Amino acid sequence: MNLYMKRLAIFFAMVVLAACSSKKEEAPVSDVEEAPTVLLEKNIPIAIEHYKNMMETLEGEEFPKTYVDGEFKTSNSGWWCSGFYPGTLLYLFQESGDSTLLTEAERMLKLLEIEQYNKYTHDLGFMMYCSFGNALKIAPKEEYKRILVNSAESLSSRFSEEVGAIKSWDSLPEDYLVIIDNMMNLELLFWATRETGDSTFYDIAVTHANTTLENHFREDNSSYHVVNYDPNGGGIQEKKTAQGLSDSSAWARGQAWGLYGFTVMFRETRDSVYLDQADKIAQFFVNHPNLPKDKIPLWDFDAKADEERDASAAAIAASGLLELDEYHPDRGYAKIAKEMLAVLSGYYTAEVGTNGNFLIMHNVGHKPENSEVDVPLTYADYYFIEGLIRLSNK
């Protein structure tokens, strides 16, 4: 802990400046020649301080959600973000060996177990694989395998052979809504096939990805947020947005979900069609004329230049780009991801004791509903830490 405090003191001045910065200003691009491990070493101690403070704030069976107008917001285990807090704690434990973090993570996992039987959400990958999946790798227990298999079975129950996709949101009987975010939940299904030998999970994931590949993308390789299918297999009824600027716009976090999700698809299948798609999405993202120079996107690529940035989209994209770089090392994706993480580290990282004890500032959840706009979000912290770990392993 003394080492953490020394690093914290060195970095403290920069963090204070970051906390005072405006979300609409252009951040200076940090020195990308700095050793990849440095960003991890700077941020892990700060993240641990934040999350240990957060532990003291949580009560009962609450899961952290966000911090709005001075109020710490929480959820129950059924909220789609419930897996990110224990998942982040496990990443921090992995990097520090601090058993306090593991104890808290395991406490939250016990609260989350009930969701293995939840058939009313498509987000079980986020909820269960980012938590129990991490636990199985970092601090394994045999019981986690059964929980994850049950979760995969629950997720699979939302698959329709007629549509060829997993339903995202329950809606009217005549609707079958599928969102680009759902690509992130398929990793759980691939794991389940490896664990059980049952190829059904694998086949569902591939079918869903193929349906998404065929119908979600425009000619410029940007993605629609929502595709509404005829539940009886009659094809597409509409393409639209829920959280983006307009039906025809490119919602930034949606592009990040697609980039990351199709990269995972290539990892799990080695089918080059998925690598090509991930590369196309990445090229759209990093070369977009409306992407600010510091590479932290506006909440929607078609938003006005003075509107909010979405640091969560940057964190997700950076982590995805670092994996994509393994398969496409000729594109410079690792360098771009490092630039993004460096800016997040220096300009979007909150001072300890502020920001509701979340690490990353200036994220956008649901701008059209004026919900979670310019606030911290659990998944921004999760993918930022994951990205730093991936970068340090380069």
In single-letter form, the type of residue at position 112 comes to: L
Average pLDDT rounded to a whole number, residues 181-205 = 98
β-partners of residue 323 are none
Over residues 62-74, the pLDDT tens digits come to: 999 999 999 999 9
Phi and psi torsions of 363, nearest 5°: -115, 160
DSSP secondary structure letter of residue 349:
B
CA distances (Å), origin 304, targets 108, 109, 301 = 40, 41, 8
Q: What is the pLDDT of residue 10?
A: 38
Which one, of 369, 387, 266, 277, lies nearest residue 327 by Cα? 266
Q: From CA 63, how far away is CA 264, in angstroms rounded?
A: 27
Q: What length does the chain have?
A: 394
The dihedral region occupied by 136, where left means phi > 0, alpha psi between -120 and 50, and beta the remainder, is alpha
How far apart are alpha carbons 343 and 320 in whole angstroms?
17
337 with 387: CB under 8 angstroms? yes
CA dihedral 165, 319, 50, 70 (to 10 degrees): -60
- pLDDT at residue 44 above 80? yes
Q: How confident is the model at residue 36 (pLDDT cuts 50, 70, 90)?
A: confident
23: pLDDT strictly greater than 80: no
Q: Quick one: DSSP state of residue 26? A: P
In 122-234, which residue ranges form alpha helices assigned H by DSSP? 124, 134-138, 143-156, 186-196, 199-215
Please check the confidence at residue 322 and state whether its pLDDT lies above 90.
yes
CA distances from residue 64 to 17, 248, 257 in whole angstroms, order as listed = 25, 33, 22
pLDDT of residue 20: 39
Reported as a single tens digit per residue, the pLDDT across 140-178 is 999 999 999 999 999 999 999 999 999 999 999 999 999
* Domain definitions of the chain by residue range: 2-18+28-392
Crossing angle of helices 186-196 and 252-269, in 10° steps, is 20
CATH 1.10.1740.10 fits 2-18+28-392, yes or no: no
Query: What percent of the chain clears pLDDT 90, i.e. is strictly above it?
Result: 90
364 SS3 class: strand
Give 274's contacts (C-beta < 8 A, 6+ positions apart): 209, 213, 262, 263, 265, 266
Q: What are 353-389's pLDDT values in tens digits?
A: 999 999 999 999 999 999 999 999 999 999 999 999 9
* pLDDT confidence of residue 34: 62
The reported pLDDT for the residue numbered 32 is 52
| Mean pLDDT, residues 111-118 taken together | 98
Alpha-helical segments (H) within 160-271: 186-196, 199-215, 252-269
pLDDT at residue 59, as a whole number = 85
Interatomic CA distance for residues 365 and 371, integer angstroms: 6
Q: Is the pLDDT of residue 286 over 80?
A: yes
* Sequence letter at residue 382: Y
Strands 165-166 and 159-160: antiparallel
Segment (H or E) for 374: strand 371-375
Task: Specify the pLDDT at position 2.
Answer: 42
Average pLDDT score, the chain: 93
Q: Please give the Cα distance from 60 to 107 (Å, whole number).
A: 10
Instruction: Report the amino acid identity of residue 16.
Output: V
Give the model's pLDDT for residue 37: 86
Residue 28 has what pLDDT? 62
pTM across the whole model: 0.93
Distance CA 36, CA 111 (A): 35
Q: Give catalytic residues, as residue numbers.
A: 123, 181
| Matching residue, tokens 């959400």 | 121
Please report the pLDDT score of residue 233 as a whole number: 96
Tokens of 178: 């599928």
- For the stretch 76-107, pLDDT in tens is 999 999 999 999 999 999 999 999 999 999 99
Give the model confidence (pLDDT) of 250-281 as tens digits: 999 999 999 999 999 999 999 999 999 999 99
pLDDT at position 27 = 67
